[in-house]
Structures are given as structure tokens and as C-alpha cells.
Amino acid sequence: MYEFIQKFHSGWAYLALLLLVVAVLNSVLGLVSKKEFSSKDRTIALLGLIAAHIQLLVGLVLYFVSPIGKAGLSEMSNAAMRLTALEHPLINIIAIVFITIGWSKHKKATSSLTKFKTISIFYGVGLLLILSRIPWHLWF
């Protein structure tokens, strides 16, 4: 079961990252071109939000069934272990909080410019945080 969850978490990460990149690029292009915020733009941002939340839930399940989660945070002197056990989960939770705040704030915005700007900033910060804490040595 652990291996399946781990592979799903790794595989879903590609889709989640792709959807977040598309959402950020779409909102930046909408901001630069000063177009109207449409239902297509809303759907793209929503798919990025949903993918990020699914990734978080699967990651939390993985953390608590993995040997790292069961062992606790006892080996913090090892940089790779610290990344996997502490930095990756903590920073990614913060990133998804940013993405969620961006989604909530964009719904309250009245102008298209503000909606695109809000999604660009909050999703962009969330995406950068996620990219900064991916254990790249495990991906390749």
C-alpha cells in the first residue's frame, strides 16, 4: 500500500505542477493582455487548486504511513532526511495555503485585472514554494 501511495503522490505531482504552471501563465497572460476574466480562466485556476489539494491530501496520507512519519523527526542532521521529513511537507502546506488564499481573494475581486493579478501573485508564490522543496534527487 505504501508503494502505491508513494507512486501516486509522485505521479500526481507532475499533473499538479502542470496545472499550476498553466494557471499562473494563463493569469499572467490575462493580466498583460487586459482581457476579461472568463469562465475558462476560472476553470483553469480551479483545476490548479483542486490538483494542489489532492496532492496535499495524498502527501499527508503518505507521510503518516511512511517510515519517515512513523520514525518521527529524529534524524534532522541528515539534509536529505530533513528535506523529506520536515521541509517538504511544511513548505508545501504553506504553498497550498497561498494558493487557497489566492482562490478565495479572486472570488471577491470585482475587476478582471484584480482577479488575474490575485491569481498570478498567490498561485505564483505557491508554485515557487512547491518547486523549491521538491526532492529533485528522488525524481530523476
C-beta of residue 55 within 8 angstroms of C-beta of residue 16:
yes
C-beta of residue 114 within 8 angstroms of C-beta of residue 31:
no
Tens of each residue's pLDDT in the chain, 140 residues: 889 999 999 999 999 999 999 999 999 999 999 999 999 999 999 999 999 999 999 999 998 888 776 555 566 667 777 777 788 999 999 999 999 999 999 999 999 999 999 999 999 999 999 999 988 777 66
What does the DSSP 8-state code read for residue 73?
S
Q: How far apart are CA 123 and CA 120, in angstroms?
A: 6
First to last CA, the chain: 22
Characterize 99-126 residue by residue with b for buried, 16 or more Cβ atoms within 10 angstroms of its Cβ, and e for exposed.
bbbbbebbeeeeebeebbbbbbbbbbbb
Radius of gyration of the chain (CA): 16
Q: Domains of the chain: which residue ranges?
A: 2-139
Place of cell 493580466: 31
